[in-house]
């Protein structure tokens, strides 16, 4: 559960460039990718709350926030 957030964040960012960049409706407002990033953030926070290994969970949250910030920039 700890690395589910960063994996979803990577899929959200990569799918925009691989799939959704080709069509104007998803290129202009990437709703699918924003939903994936929101799910990734929720999974990372849930992993941080439930994990016993706080350092790995915090690293996963940092990776998720970094990928989300890169995508939103």
Q: Which residues contact 59 (CB under 8 A, 6 or more apart)?
A: none
Average confidence (pLDDT) over 64-68: 95
Q: Where are the domains of the chain?
A: 4-72
Which has the minimum average pLDDT: 10-14, 19-23, 66-70?
19-23
Contact between residue 10 and residue 64 where contact means Cβ atoms under 8 Å apart: no
Q: Which residues contact 50 (CB under 8 A, 6 or more apart)?
A: 1
Predicted confidence band of residue 27 (pLDDT cuts 50, 70, 90): confident
Closest CA to 39 of 72, 10, 73, 14: 10
For position 64, what pLDDT does the model report? 95
Q: pTM to 2 decimals?
A: 0.87
Average confidence (pLDDT) over 47-64: 91
Task: Indicate whether 1 pLDDT > 80.
Answer: no
């Amino acid at each position: 559960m700890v690395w589910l957030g960063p994996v979803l964040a990577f899929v959200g960012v990569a799918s925009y460039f691989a799939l959704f960049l080709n069509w104007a409706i998803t290129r202009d407002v990437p709703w699918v990718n924003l939903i994936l990033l929101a799910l990734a953030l929720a999974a990372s926070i849930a992993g941080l709350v439930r994990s016993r290994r706080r350092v790995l969970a915090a690293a996963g949250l940092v990776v998720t926030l970094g990928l989300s910030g890169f995508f939103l920039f």
